[in-house]
Amino acid sequence: MGYPMAGHLSLNKDLNLVVHNRTAHVSKNWMKEYKGSKLDIRNPIDIQFDGLITCLKDDAAIIDVLINKKLILSLKKNAFIIDHSTTSLDLIKIIVTNNEIIDKNISFYDAPVSGGEVGAINGSLSAMIGGPKNNFATIKRLMRSYSKSIVHIGPNGHGQLTKMVNQLCIAGLIQGLSEGIALGMASELNMNKVFDGISNGAAQSWQMDNRFKTMIKDKFNFGFAVDLMIKDLKISLKESKLKNLDLDVGKAVLKKYQKLSTQGDGKLDTSSLIKLLSE
């Protein structure tokens, strides 16, 4: 998702944009498609930045890039970090208590996004923000390049907590959508007419609008992968347990995604949940 997001940012001629990907050929491909320069994180202090935007796989990737490889050394005093990854609250604590972050008065924003790869490409992501109010006007202007909705939820952690809510809601929606489609197909209904009949009623959702027809066609190559959803649901359920919440649907859907992953479907997008109903 970071690839097209950086592409939208590159269109802002007021920015001196520098990009980096941990996979070298991805950076080279981006350079061919957009204008920018590659940052060599082996020498992070060669350039001093006003801000840093990250979009990585998980906690370990963020810690590796920011702390182990010392990318935070490339930030100026009073700079900011926008992290669009989906992470745990533990990761946020590690970052905001880091001595370099504190000494330089760096503003950190946990800013996970929703909308998938399509949203990143179209510049229509929804961003949920946790962090301080200082610098927020600046980061909001930057995020407008690739986001249609930018909401400051509250202090650090509230962005990730909101993403946990988001993922639990999505998990239940996809399971319900899968079961409804399975019944319709088993009943030999005209599923295009079924879609027309229900998509403007109470069952309507983003998942229905964007995945109903592709699920019918067994097409599951639309970005956000099963393995990433497993990671996100584990984070959500861990936090729910700490709050004494027993989320039956979330736990049940997690087990189904884990089954998909075990059988080799971990790289398919999350709508592939319906495959378990056709086995």
Q: DSSP class of residue 224?
A: S
Which of the residues 28, 140, 163, 217 is marked catalytic?
Answer: 163
Distance CA 100, CA 67 (A): 9
Distance CA 9, CA 123 (A): 10
Distance CA 30, CA 20 (A): 9
135: left (phi over 0), alpha (psi -120 to 50) or beta: left
DSSP readout, 245-265? ---HHHHHHHHHHHHHIIIII
Q: Could you tell me where the DSSP H helices lie in the chain?
A: 2-10, 24-33, 59-63, 89-96, 99-103, 116-122, 136-143, 158-186, 191-198, 206-216, 226-242, 248-260
140 tagged catalytic = no
Q: Which residues are catalytic?
A: 163
